[in-house]
Structure 1
């Protein structure tokens, strides 16, 4: 359902600007908090991998389990209310750099700015906050950004909802092993030097790809002029620096 015209979920001007600009190589997204003279620029936008979503039901959430007493269990992933056509979709990531010096050394200040799942190649005309299954639009107020997923491990992920228990099993097993004093490598594939992790479940023909995330994360739906879904994005670097968008 297209809720883009509803002020309760529509992105504010600054959010629209950031989501549009974050995937523009060379664009300036702002300046460093600690040094306004240093620009934060988008230095790279690359395809991470292709993600299979055979059910058309997309989860965007942390893959790690919740800890509840002595038991560890895979939590139910936050499934988006919006459905996508079953298929395989390209995932892209954008990085920024803002160089700085620390204890006599020079660092590039490279950070993940945003990730997105490309549902269609049509340009995005507007953004809206993605409601999850069970979220009630009537309980959302304009500017409310509590709707989304929460992570305590700095990790989010795109994955198929039906295959979610199987796709997140390596994270549950790793955590259980660590609790038992048996820390073994996770049954995942590192992408981009470990910046992302890929899990594949051939029984469902589905994938999960992780990415860096903050504590509380809004998932954004990018819509075309016609209101069709074109992109699903998480702006993980939105609060990392000072922004002066050209409104």
Structure 2
């Protein structure tokens, strides 16, 4: 039987187009702001790294919050992370970034306009036939207002994928402050400003990515209803309420 998603979570036509176009190299993803003659082009899909999710439970959130309390500075979580309600098979998955370029000029200076269009955790290579918003474990679909999109906030413009069972250990380096300075994370530096934190005891990882003010999580479903991709977009509308 072919999977049919719930109408309240289903991506609308605009969101569906964006999610499919963003991961199509050479495709046009709109035009440069204030310059309808210059297209924003998908230049590449970059595999940044792989990450381990041994529990099958995934956090998609900012790696730290902005609570400036003593507990926060001591490295203790001040709120639970936004874990997804959906579960995935335990495994090792690719983290990919869709890059776009839209050259523009500002006060006589030229810029290449390279930006991250979306970030994807690739669960399988099976074709995606539909998209829906990814609810968190504490989200209530019955409380969604028309047009509302559940999302996570990221005041520092950084989001992450992380194994939920190892969250406390994996996110601790982002909450460690001593003498008014953030402690070195000792993270694995990845391309394009991303980082990977690993918990070798649990064989689990956390990988950061750019998320302007946070992001909406989308689940790409196969014809059988399995999750083939988990994608984060920032500042994008288009889901049906």
For normalisation by structure 1, the TM-score amounts to 0.88
Q: CA deviation at 1:183?
A: 4.5
Contact residue 9 and residue 142 of structure 1 kept, 8 A:
no
SS at match of 2:11: coil
Partner of 1:192: 191
Partner of 1:172: 175
- Return the alpha-carbon distance in structure 2 between the equivalents of residues 122 and 182 of structure 1: 45
Contact residue 153 and residue 214 of structure 2 kept, 8 A:
yes
Partner of 1:53: 53
Q: CA deviation at 1:6?
A: 1.6
Change (3 A) 1:100 1:193: same
Match of residue 160, structure 1, among 163, 174, 196: 163
CA RMSD of superposed structures (Å) = 2.0
Partner of 2:102: 98
- Return the alpha-carbon distance in structure 1 between the equivalents of residues 55 and 69 of structure 2: 33
Contact residue 158 and residue 214 of structure 2 kept, 8 A:
no
SS at match of 1:17: helix
SS at match of 1:18: helix
Partner of 1:34: 34
Note the alpha carbon deviations across 1:159-184, whole angstroms, 9 max, x for none.
Answer: 000101111111111xx23xx23344
SS at match of 1:20: helix
For normalisation by structure 2, the TM-score amounts to 0.90
Q: CA deviation at 1:193?
A: 4.2
- Return the alpha-carbon distance in structure 1 between the equivalents of residues 90 and 84 of structure 2: 14
- Return the alpha-carbon distance in structure 1 between the equivalents of residues 96 and 198 of structure 2: 18
Change (3 A) 1:71 1:203: same
- Return the alpha-carbon distance in structure 2 between the equivalents of residues 115 and 68 of structure 1: 28
Contact residue 9 and residue 143 of structure 1 kept, 8 A:
no
Partner of 1:232: 230
Contact residue 66 and residue 155 of structure 2 kept, 8 A:
no
Moved more, 159-168 or 209-218: 209-218
Change (3 A) 1:183 1:39: same
Unaligned 5+ residue runs, structure 1?
none
1:60-79 equivalence runs, <5 A? 60-72=60-72, 73-74=76-77, 75-79=79-83
Count of matched residue pairs: 233
Note the alpha carbon deviations across 1:181-225, whole angstroms, 9 max, x for none.
Answer: 33443221221142x111111011000000111224210000012
Matched, 1:21 2:21: yes
Q: CA deviation at 1:148?
A: 1.8
SS at match of 1:91: strand
Moved more, 216-225 or 136-145: 136-145
SS at match of 2:142: helix
Partner of 1:143: 147
Unaligned 5+ residue runs, structure 2?
none
Change (3 A) 1:158 1:70: same
